[in-house]
Structure formats: structure tokens, C-alpha cells
Amino acid sequence: MIVVSDTSCITGLIAIHREQLLQQLFGTVIIPPAVREELGVAHAILPDYLETRTPLETVAVARLLLEPLDPGEAEAMVLVEELHADYLLIDETAGRKIAEARGILHFGLLGVLSRAKEKGIIAQLRPELDALINTGFRIAPRLRERFLSDIGEA
């Protein structure tokens, strides 16, 4: 399985000391150079399962930068298309909408946590979600309750 990630999922997992979930779920996770730079600003040491790849289609990246995307999101989307990746990990609403319009399968941090629970890597997600919220992760209260209900932790 090929998975490309934007910054937010990795940063959120590092913040709650659960960064190894991505390796446990997907093995190697590919990130573009802009994401590596963004991560490097806040994190001195990055997980070794991250593999940096540079998108070849620089014109495609430049076009996406005309959208409401940051460089990491734009490069990640182009990498997904170039590598025929299975998934893009992205949380930002604008980026998710553009990914959908381009036919890119994606999910965010909540999807990662949900998959970890499905695979038995995490027993309960409520403490993980609470830890994320305590680090500044924003989730609407209604979405939080629906998510917990959907995974059987209401």
C-alpha cells in the first residue's frame, strides 16, 4: 500500500506520542520535501518510516498553489497522483475538497485512529482523542460525539 501524507496527521500523532501508528498501519509513509520542512520546524527528530520524495510535475504543484493549499498539501497531492498512491493523509477542509475533486482517496487523523482501533493496535480512542484536543487539535463537539458513537465509544 502506498500512502502519502501531509503534515497535520504526523504532527498530531507526534504530539500524543503515537507517531508509530502510521508505521504499524502502513509501513513506509511518503512525504514531499515541503512536508519534511514543515515537520522539521516543530520536531527535531522525525520518525524513520517517513520517506521523502520530490514530485516531478512542478507545473502541477504550481497550479495547485493557486488553490487554497499550502506547499506541503500541493506537493503531497501531486505525489499521490504520480505514484498512484492508495491514500492521501490530510485533515484540512480545503485540501480534502480539492483531493475529492481530483479523485484522490483520503482520510485524516480521525481515520488513522479509527483504523488503528479496527486493527486492535489501540483499544480505546477516547483517551487518544482527548489527548489530541489537549494539544490544540480542533474538532467540533458534534463531530467528536458522532465519531465516538461510530466507533462504539459513545
Q: What pTM was computed for the model? A: 0.93
Cell numbers representing residue 123 in the block: 483499544
Which neighbouring-strand residues pair with 51? 30
Three-state SS string over the chain comes to CCEEECHHHHHHHHHCCCCHHHHHHHCCEEECHHHHHHHHHHCCCCCCCEEECCCCCHHHHHHHCCCCCCHHHHHHHHHHHHHCCCEEECCCHHHHHHHHHCCCCEECHHHHHHHHHHCCCCCCCHHHHHHHHHCCCCCCHHHHHHHHHHCCCC
User: What's domain 3-110's superfamily in CATH?
Assistant: 5'-nuclease (3.40.50.1010)
Q: Which residue has the cell 466507533?
A: 151
> d(Cα 135, Cα 151) in Å, to the nearest integer?
22
Question: What is the per-residue pLDDT for 44?
Answer: 87
Give, in degrees to the nearest 5, the angle at Cα 87 between 98 and 129: 90
The dihedral over CA atoms of 76, 129, 13, 117, expressed in degrees to the nearest 10, equals -90
Give the pLDDT of the chain (154 residues) as one tens digit per residue.
999 999 999 999 999 999 999 999 999 999 999 999 999 998 888 999 999 999 999 999 999 999 999 999 999 999 999 999 999 999 999 999 999 999 999 999 999 999 999 999 999 999 999 999 999 888 888 988 999 999 888 7
Domain boundaries, the chain: 3-110
Residues 29, 22: contact at Cβ < 8 Å?
yes
Question: What is the per-residue pLDDT for 142?
Answer: 92
Residues 25, 112: contact at Cβ < 8 Å?
yes
